[in-house]
Amino acid sequence: MMKPSYQQMDAEVLQQEACYEGFFTMKKLTIRHKLFNGGWGQPINRELFERGEAAAVLLYDPVLDVVVLTEQFRVGALNEPSPWIFELVAGIIEPGETPAEVAIRETQEESGAHIAQLTPICQYLVSPGGTNEKLHVFMALLDSTDVGGIHGLEHEGEDIKVHKISRQQAYQGVVDGRINNAATVIALQWLQLNIDTLVNN
């Protein structure tokens, strides 16, 4: 059984200050933590990108055997061949919201589709070496017949194109690297591993 050597109480934040506060927040922390050989380490400084939690949904139509993916511009992909990324419907979890509520709301806002039932895939820390962002990933079955078009909230600067892609073609995008963002890779791999169970139920 895997069990961490230490718990939350075995790390201390000695000091923190805001380096930047805008759409996101960057903090400088002075921390110390217990060492594997016993005792406490010396204080160290680390910058923490505070992104919070988000929810993402893989939309799958089992009748047509297609997935619904969004395409939108992403500033973090400016150095890629194209900064327009194929990805899951996703959104930031605001205070008082549950991951499931956000998944259902963002599906409506970003794709125009309505879903009611979610299947949890996983939750993971995106890059814990420098950010506290945590992503909750779901799958939802839907009838994609009338899904498509351009969506998003204008006041949030969203310009989102919806694509219906065959499951096999989407998974091939994972294999050949055209789909290279973690949440979408994880969700499509999960779908490929569980497709027999989904179709037979």
Residues taking part in catalysis: 156
SS3 of the chain: helix, strand, coil, percent, to 5: 25, 40, 35
| Under 8 Å between Cβ of 110 and 151 | yes
**Consecutive H or E run containing 14:** strand 11-21
CA distances from 84 to 26, 81, 151, 178, 183 (A): 25, 9, 15, 11, 16
N-terminal to C-terminal alpha carbon distance within the chain = 32
| Under 8 Å between Cβ of 72 and 84 | yes
And the tokens for 105?
């709301």
User: How far is it, in rounded angstroms, from Cα 74 to Cα 76?
Assistant: 5
The label of the residue with tokens 């923190």 reads 16
Residue 81, SS3 per DSSP? coil
**Consecutive H or E run containing 4:** none
